[in-house]
Amino acid sequence: MTYDAAAGTATTAQIGDLSAILGLSGRVYAGISFLAVLVAGFGLLVTRSGFVDRAVDRVIEESPFSVLYGTIPFFFVAFAGGYALNQFARAGVGSLWLAQGWSLVVSVVGVGFAGLGYLVFGTYLTEVEGERRPWHGAVAGAVVSALPWLLLPTLPAVLVWLLGAAAGLGAPTRRWVHGERTVETEASG
């Protein structure tokens, strides 16, 4: 596949109307968001429940401004996915199946990050009410993830949806970014 052919297969959308990408309604996006976040949340609870507990603890301890750090995983996935797809097309090794497969992989990773973010956010909400209940938090996070799609037009819904996921990802990402910067290393440097 040539670079021009790969560029021609992409669906372009107006900046104000992202619904042209798939042509779905807000209710359908809300249902997809609910199910994707719920499945990702349950999967993470089954495989990485200790990590989820630590992430909720970090959200409680950290500054609310750490939400900005939560956008880093989404930017990284979008950049790495787009860059790799572009390089496949330029090298001529890409086919339509490779492009669609790679786009699916990038989407699954992005939904996994969103699922973690909303799982942490939902679990935090359950802890505000009483004791921490991660399984209920997965459902609460899935419900919260569907709300922007029901209440807002598509572009603002995407932005609010990403910020909601970033709220749960911010503190763990901040800890990862500054993981080597402890008090001891700052004092000796």
Residue 130 lies in a domain: yes
Phi-psi region of 131 (alpha: psi -120 to 50; beta: other; left: phi over 0): beta
Supply the range of the domain harboring residue 165: 25-177
Q: How many CB atoms lie within 10 A of CB 173?
A: 24
Residue 6 lies in a domain: no
Structure tokens at 181: 């910067």
Residue 187 lies in a domain: no
Residue 17 lies in a domain: no
- Confidence (pLDDT) at 22: 62
b/e per residue 32-52 (b: at least 16 CB within 10 A)? bbbebbbebbbebbeeeeeeb
Residues 121/164, Cβ–Cβ less than 8 Å: yes
**Alpha-carbon dihedral angle through residues 173, 179, 184, 189, given to the nearest 10 degrees:** -100
Residue 3 lies in a domain: no
Instruction: Please state the pTM of the whole predicted model.
Output: 0.77
Tell me 11's DSSP state. Answer: P
- Confidence (pLDDT) at 181: 60
Mean pLDDT, each 10-residue run in order, the chain (189 residues): 48 47 78 93 90 85 81 90 84 75 86 90 87 90 94 89 89 79 57
14 three-class SS:
strand
140 three-class SS:
helix
Residue 15 lies in a domain: no
- Confidence (pLDDT) at 84: 86
Query: What is the total count of domains within the chain?
Result: 1
Residues 128/28, Cβ–Cβ less than 8 Å: no
Q: What is the DSSP string of 66-112?
A: GHHHHTHHHHHHHHHHHHHHHHHHHHT---HHHHHHHHHHHHHHHHH
Which residue is listed with tokens 């086919």?
Answer: 95
Residue 5 lies in a domain: no
Residue 44 lies in a domain: yes
